[in-house]
C-alpha cells in the first residue's frame, strides 16, 4: 500500500466536505449576505481536489512551485475561505465569522493580496477563467526558461454557468486550446441553475461540443461521488491538452428543502433550514464548530505536500538559473531598462525624429526587450499597428514557449485577463497592445489590474481623432477620461519620442499597478530637442516652454500628447503679439496629482487664471486644471471620417483656436 493509499484511507471525505458546507452556511447566515449554493454544491469536488491533487503549502502561500486554484465564480467565496481555513492557512475561525464585514480577511469576493491563499481577485464572471489561462500560459513560459522540474504546476479553475455565458470565456478557452495548455484543468459546477432559475430559460448550448471544438479533453462526472471525482482527476494529471470536467452537482447540496433551487444561489439559507440540514447530514456540531478529527484530516491533506515542497526548494537552490529569479536581480534588470530609456531619450533629442508616438513606443519596446528577460509583449492582432513586436522577439506557440511575443488574436477581452494571469503567476512583465477605443473591451481586466496592483503595461495606439479616415467608431474621445478615472491606473499620453521613453521609464518604476500608454497614429514633431537627464514626464506635468524671467506671465497653455506642438505654435504667435504665455506639457495627470503642492504651484501658479487646455478628447476631468475661467479645446462629440487635419479643424483643435481662446480671456 502506497503512502497515498494510507493517506486517503484515513480521510472521511463526507465529514470533510460537510465541514465546508456548514462553515459556509454559518458564515453566510451570520453575515445575512452571501451565496451558499455553490459552496454546498462543490464541497465534494473541492475536498477531493485539495486532499489528493492540489500541491500547496499553507506556511508558504506564495511558493512558486504550488498549483494555482482560481475560483472564477467568486461569489462562491466561502467555499475557498472554508478550504483555506481547514487547510491551515492564516485564516482563523474569527475571520470566517467576520465574513463580508469591514476590514475582514473574508470579503464578499476573493481579493488577491488581502487573504493568504487567494490567487486572484474574482467577481466579474469569466475574468478568473481568463486569469487561469494566463497562469497556465505563464507556467509553460517559466518552465521553458527555468526548467519543468521547477515549474510543472497545474492551474485548477472552478467556473459556473455564468462564467461560461460571459463572452470572455469563449476567447479565453479558445486561447487555451490553441496553445494546448496541458496543465490547465477547468472544473465546471454544472448545476443547471442561475439567479433567474433553470439555465434552460437562457441557454441551450451544447457545452461538450463547444468545449471539444476549442481543443480540450472533455469529461463528465457526478460531482458528489468521491470515487468518480478521483477517477476523473486522475485522468487530468497526464493530459497533453487542457482538460474540462463538467461536474454534475446539486446547487445547495444538503439543504433539505432548498437544494436544487435558484433560491440557494444568492441568499442565506435561514436558521431553520440550516438546523434541518444539520439533522439531515448528521452534523452534530454547533455553528462554527469543527471537530478536531476533521481538522486532523484536513491537516493531513496539507502535510502530504511537505516532502514535495522541501524537494522543490532544494532543486531551486541547486539550479544555476535561480539567481535570475531573485528580487534583487529583478530590480537590477529594471534599473538597466530605465537606463536604456535614458539612452533612447538622448538619441531622440539629438536626432529630433518626427514620428508617431506608436512608432516611438516600438523603439522603446525594442530597447526594453534587449535588457528585460521577463518582458513578454503581444498584440490583439494589431502587431504592425501597435508596434509591439521587435524582429528579435521569438513567437510563443504550442510548440515552443521560449519566446517573448504572444499573438493574442482578435481577443481584447481575454488579452487583458490573460496578462493579469501571467503577472499574477510571477516572473513575467506583460505588455499588450490594441487600439485605444478597444480599451472598452478590456475595461474589466484593466480595472482588475488596478485593483490587484499588478504591473501590466497596456499599449493603446490610435489615441484620438488623429487616426483620421476610420471614423468615429475607431476614434476614442471619452476613453482618456475613463482611464484616468480608474484608481491606481496610471495613464500616459506622451508628446514625442523623448516623452515616450520617459513614460516607459516611469511605467517600469510603477511596480504596484498597471500603466497605459496612449499613443498616436499620426506623426508629431520633436518637442524635446535638448537632452535633460531628469525624467520630467515622471512628474506628470512640467514647464516645457516658459516666458522670460523678466516678464510677467499672462497665461498658461496646458496640452497632452499630439496637441503639445499646437500649444507651442500658439505660444509663439501670442508672444509675437506681446503676450507672455507658458506652455505646460502634461503626459500624466495622475502622476502630477501625486506631486507636492509646492511643485504643482510652481508649474501652474494659482494666480494665473488665463488658461487654455488642449486635448483631442472630452473635457471631462480638466476642470481643476484650467479653472472656472479657463477655456478647453476638446472633442465633446464623436469624430468623423475624414483626414486628420480636417477633423482637427472641424472640431476646433488648432493653434489658431488656442490663440483666440487665450486672447478672449485676456480681454483682447
Digit-coded pLDDT (tens) for 469-525: 999 999 999 999 999 999 999 999 999 999 999 999 999 999 999 999 999 999 999
Catalytic residue among 140, 166, 171, 412: 412
Determine what percent of the chain is predicted with pLDDT higher than 70.
99
pLDDT band per the 50, 70, 90 thresholds, residue 9:
confident
Q: Does 15 score more than 90 pLDDT?
A: yes
Q: Does 327 score more than 80 pLDDT?
A: no
The angle formed by the CA atoms of residues 376, 377 and 378, to the nearest 5 degrees, is 130
CATH class label, 538-665 = alpha beta
Closest C-alpha among 372, 365, 370 to residue 387: 365
CATH code 3.10.20.310 for 3-218+226-316? no
Three cell numbers written together for 510? 510603477
Domains of the chain, residue spans: 3-218+226-316, 325-524, 538-665
For the segment 339-358, the average pLDDT, to the nearest whole number, is: 96
Predicted pLDDT at 5: 64
Predicted pLDDT at 3: 53
Q: Indicate the pTM of the whole model.
A: 0.97
pLDDT band per the 50, 70, 90 thresholds, residue 319:
confident
**Average pLDDT value for the chain:** 96
For the segment 539-568, the average pLDDT, to the nearest whole number, is: 94
pLDDT band per the 50, 70, 90 thresholds, residue 598:
very high
The CA distances from residue 651 to 570, 610, 638, 648, 654, in Å, are 17, 22, 10, 5, 9
Three cell numbers written together for 207? 457545452
Q: Does 560 score more than 80 pLDDT?
A: yes
Predicted pLDDT at 328: 77
Query: Looking at domain 325-524, what is its CATH homologous superfamily?
Result: Thiamin diphosphate (ThDP)-binding fold, Pyr/PP domains (3.40.50.970)
- Measured distance CA(17)–CA(250) in Å, rounded: 14
The CA distances from residue 119 to 54, 74, 215, in Å, are 14, 12, 26
The CA distances from residue 365 to 361, 409, 467, 493, in Å, are 6, 20, 22, 16
Predicted pLDDT at 1: 46
- Measured distance CA(314)–CA(78) in Å, rounded: 35
For the segment 603-608, the average pLDDT, to the nearest whole number, is: 96
Active site residue 90: no
The angle formed by the CA atoms of residues 400, 146 and 122, to the nearest 5 degrees, is 80
Please write the tens of the pLDDT for every residue from 244-270. Answer: 999 999 999 999 999 999 999 999 999
For the segment 623-632, the average pLDDT, to the nearest whole number, is: 95
Q: Which residues contact 627 (CB under 8 A, 6 or more apart)?
A: 609, 611
Q: Dihedral through CA 214, CA 217, CA 220, CA 223, nearest 10?
A: -100
- Measured distance CA(318)–CA(20) in Å, rounded: 39
Report the DSSP beta bridge partners of residue 156: 69, 185
The CA distances from residue 436 to 36, 69, 375, 508, 622, in Å, are 40, 32, 21, 20, 20
Three cell numbers written together for 416? 487583458
The angle formed by the CA atoms of residues 529, 532 and 534, to the nearest 5 degrees, is 145
Least-confidence region, from 351-365, 510-524, 540-554, 617-631: 540-554
Amino acid at each position: 500500500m502506497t503512502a497515498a493509499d494510507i493517506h486517503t484511507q484515513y480521510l472521511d471525505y463526507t465529514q470533510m466536505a460537510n465541514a465546508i458546507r456548514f462553515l459556509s452556511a454559518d458564515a453566510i447566515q451570520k453575515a445575512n449576505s452571501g451565496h451558499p449554493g455553490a459552496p454546498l454544491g462543490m464541497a465534494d469536488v473541492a475536498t477531493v481536489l485539495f486532499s489528493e491533487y492540489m500541491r500547496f503549502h499553507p506556511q508558504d502561500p506564495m511558493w512558486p512551485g504550488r498549483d494555482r486554484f482560481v475560483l472564477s465564480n467568486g461569489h462562491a467565496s466561502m467555499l475557498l475561505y472554508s478550504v483555506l481555513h481547514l487547510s491551515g492557512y492564516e485564516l482563523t475561525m474569527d475571520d470566517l465569522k467576520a465574513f463580508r464585514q469591514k476590514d475582514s480577511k473574508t470579503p464578499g469576493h476573493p481579493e488577491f493580496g488581502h487573504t493568504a491563499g487567494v490567487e486572484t481577485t474574482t467577481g466579474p464572471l469569466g475574468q478568473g477563467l481568463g486569469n487561469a489561462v494566463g497562469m497556465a500560459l505563464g507556467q509553460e513560459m517559466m518552465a521553458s526558461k527555468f526548467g519543468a522540474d521547477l515549474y510543472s504546476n497545474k492551474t485548477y479553475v472552478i467556473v459556473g454557468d455564468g462564467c461560461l455565458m460571459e463572452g470572455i470565456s469563449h476567447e479565453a478557452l479558445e486561447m487555451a486550446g490553441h496553445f494546448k495548455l496541458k496543465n490547465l484543468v477547468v472544473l465546471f459546477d454544472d448545476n443547471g441553475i442561475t439567479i433567474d432559475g433553470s439555465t434552460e430559460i437562457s441557454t441551450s448550448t451544447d457545452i461538450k461540443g463547444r468545449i471539444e471544438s476549442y481543443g480540450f479533453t472533455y469529461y463528465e462526472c457526478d460531482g458528489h461521488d468521491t470515487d468518480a471525482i478521483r477517477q476523473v482527476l486522475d485522468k487530468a494529471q497526464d493530459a497533453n491538452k487542457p482538460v474540462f470536467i463538467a461536474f454534475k452537482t446539486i446547487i445547495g447540496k444538503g439543504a433539505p428543502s432548498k437544494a436544487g433551487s435558484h433560491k440557494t444561489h444568492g441568499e442565506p439559507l435561514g436558521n431553520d433550514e440550516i438546523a434541518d440540514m444539520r439533522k439531515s447530514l448528521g452534523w452534530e456540531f454547533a455553528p462554527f464548530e469543527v471537530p478536531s478529527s476533521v481538522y486532523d484530516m484536513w491537516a493531513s491533506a496539507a502535510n502530504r505536500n511537505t516532502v514535495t515542497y522541501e524537494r522543490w526548494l532544494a532543486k531551486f537552490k541547486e539550479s544555476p538559473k535561480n539567481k535570475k529569479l531573485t528580487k534583487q536581480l529583478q530590480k537590477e534588470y529594471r534599473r538597466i531598462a530605465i537606463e536604456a530609456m535614458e539612452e533612447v531619450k538622448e538619441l531622440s533629442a539629438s536626432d529630433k525624429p518626427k514620428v508617431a508616438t506608436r512608432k516611438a513606443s516600438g523603439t522603446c519596446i525594442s530597447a526594453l526587450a534587449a535588457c528585460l528577460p521577463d518582458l513578454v509583449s503581444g498584440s490583439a492582432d494589431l502587431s504592425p499597428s501597435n508596434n509591439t513586436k521587435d524582429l528579435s522577439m521569438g513567437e510563443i506557440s504550442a510548440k515552443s514557449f521560449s519566446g517573448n511575443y504572444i499573438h493574442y488574436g482578435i481577443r481584447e477581452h481575454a488579452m487583458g485577463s490573460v496578462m493579469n494571469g501571467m503577472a499574477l503567476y510571477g516572473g513575467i512583465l506583460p505588455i499588450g497592445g490594441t487600439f485605444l477605443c478597444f480599451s472598452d473591451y478590456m475595461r474589466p481586466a484593466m480595472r482588475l489590474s488596478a485593483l490587484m496592483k499588478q504591473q501590466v503595461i497596456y499599449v493603446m495606439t490610435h489615441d484620438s481623432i488623429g487616426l483620421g479616415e476610420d471614423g468615429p467608431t475607431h476614434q476614442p474621445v471619452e476613453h482618456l477620461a475613463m482611464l484616468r478615472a480608474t484608481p491606481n491606473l496610471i495613464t500616459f499620453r506622451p508628446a514625442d519620442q523623448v516623452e515616450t521613453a520617459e513614460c516607459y521609464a516611469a511605467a517600469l518604476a510603477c511596480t504596484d499597478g498597471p500603466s497605459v500608454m496612449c499613443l498616436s497614429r499620426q506623426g508629431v514633431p520633436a518637442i524635446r530637442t535638448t537632452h535633460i537627464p531628469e525624467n520630467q514626464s515622471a512628474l506628470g506635468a512640467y514647464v516645457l516652454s516658459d516666458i522670460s524671467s523678466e516678464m510677467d506671465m499672462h497665461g498658461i497653455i496646458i496640452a497632452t500628447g499630439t496637441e503639445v506642438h499646437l500649444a507651442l505654435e500658439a505660444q509663439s504667435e501670442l508672444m509675437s503679439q506681446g503676450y507672455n504665455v507658458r506652455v505646460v506639457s502634461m503626459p500624466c495627470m495622475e502622476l502630477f496629482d501625486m506631486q507636492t503642492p509646492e511643485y504643482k504651484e510652481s508649474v501652474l501658479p494659482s494666480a494665473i487664471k488665463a488658461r487654455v487646455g488642449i486635448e483631442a478628447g472630452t473635457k471631462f476631468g480638466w476642470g481643476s486644471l484650467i479653472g472656472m475661467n479657463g477655456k478647453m479645446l476638446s472633442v465633446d462629440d464623436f469624430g468623423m471620417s475624414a483626414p486628420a487635419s480636417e477633423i482637427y479643424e472641424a472640431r476646433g483643435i488648432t493653434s489658431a483656436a488656442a490663440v483666440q481662446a487665450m486672447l478672449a480671456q485676456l480681454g483682447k
